[in-house]
Amino acid sequence: MNIGVINESCKIENRVGLSPSSVSLLTEKEHTLYVQAGAGLKAGYSNEEYAAQGANIVFTKDEVFGRSDIVLNISPLNEEECQLAKKDQILFGFHHLAVAPKKLLLSLLDKKITIIGYEIIQADDKELSFIESLSEIAGQMCLTIAGQYLQTSQGGRGIIIGGVVTVPPATAVIIGSGVLARSAVKALLGAGAHTIVLGRYIDRMRDLEDMTGGRLITMMATKYNLSRMVNVADILIGAVLRPGEKAPLMVTRDMVKNMKKGSLIIDLAIDQGGCIETSRPTTLEQPVYFEEGIIHYCVPNITSAVSRTSTKVLSNVVTPFLQLIGECGLDEALKRDKSLARGLFVYKGKIAKKNIGERFGLDYQVLKEE
């Protein structure tokens, strides 16, 4: 099987589809790897490291698409990359079709492409393998981000997260109760922040309370509770996820207007459109802006800032799927591994997700589980 790794075109994307370690595993199984020159540089991997593990270094994206049965990308493909995709190819990556332009999807459907989305690959126990692995990283990053942007020099409230004797700690409000929220809770509560979680699943919030020995405050994510807690937040984190769908709007502009000036919003749902009305995508080069007197940090693919760690995580998760497809072919792999089947956005030119078909007004055919 021929597997290609492209040099990401998105300016804010520093990760790469495979690490040299995973390349070595695949070449040992006699798969052929094509890695575009420079693809791993931002993650700290040289062309020579890939070549030493048996990869073929090619110099154009056209070559990668032209020679590969499977192409790995991290950020959603742009228009040029969609045009390079060839008939019957398999595309692995974060595609975020729920917020993608319709014309890009149509161009891929015409080529009978199969699209497998990292963000919707889901195990039998409902675990989102890729998302949850990256969520552990993103949650930890919230502590670093908050520590920086709450400083006076950044326009923040001029407070430290943990507080000191006679001065109370910062208040962190987290919307969501999944792995991303859990990781943020560990980081912020561990740093001494007064931490509040608003979620919709009582069992998950009970688990969070047990994990923290009762030090965490949990509440149901009703409009009433959200409006009250947003008012007291020094740090507001949107950690809401609906796999393969647009993020729900949880915090309105009016709620943001009532926040304390100089407080910080980190919208981790921005990849899926954001869960806060005043959010809009930013970049790692210019990660923040002020809206209603509040600092907004809304960087999609936030874990790209720690590209080497994130690349290793993604690579470790995707490699077994590549090995399975290489061993028995796509159709048999989908039968053997239901989590892979759940990751199908498009199967051989046909939309495989109801919400995507409905969003674009196109026919869809959900793959039946046997």
Quote the CA–CA distance of 282 and 280 in Å, as a whole number.
7
88 is catalytic: no
Q: DSSP string of 39-108?
A: TTGGGT--HHHHHHTTPEEES-HHHHHHH-SEEE-SSPP-HHHHHH--TT-EEEE---GGGS-HHHHHHH
Angle at the Cα of 50 from the Cα atoms of 48 and 54, rounded to 5 degrees: 110
Asked whether 70 and 89 are in contact (CB, 8 A), the reply is yes
C-alpha closest to that of 317 among 94, 104, 151, 158:
94
Give 157's contacts (C-beta < 8 A, 6+ positions apart): 150, 234, 260, 261, 262, 263
Q: Is 271 a catalytic residue?
A: yes
Q: What is the DSSP letter of 364?
A: B
Specify the pairing of strand 32-36 against strand 70-72.
unpaired
One-letter-per-residue 3-state SS of 171-202: EEEEECCCHHHHHHHHHHHHCCCEEEEEECCH
Task: Answer for the pair 218, 209: CB distance below 8 angstroms, yes or no.
Answer: yes
Please identify which of the residues 95, 234, 267, 271 carries the catalytic annotation: 271
Sheet containing 70-72, strands listed edge to edge, beginning at the edge strand earlier in sequence: 56-58, 32-36, 2-5, 70-72, 90-93, 114-117, 344-347, 350-351
Distance between CA 364 and CA 117 in Å, rounded? 16
Determine the Cα–Cα distance for residues 355 and 364; give it in Å rounded to an integer. 9
The H helix count followed by the E strand count for the chain is 14, 15
Among residues 96, 234, 267, 337, the one annotated as catalytic is 96
Asked whether the CA dihedral 143, 145, 150, 152 is positive or negative, the reply is positive
**Residue 313's closest CA among 132, 157, 148?**
132
Active site (catalytic) residues = 96, 271
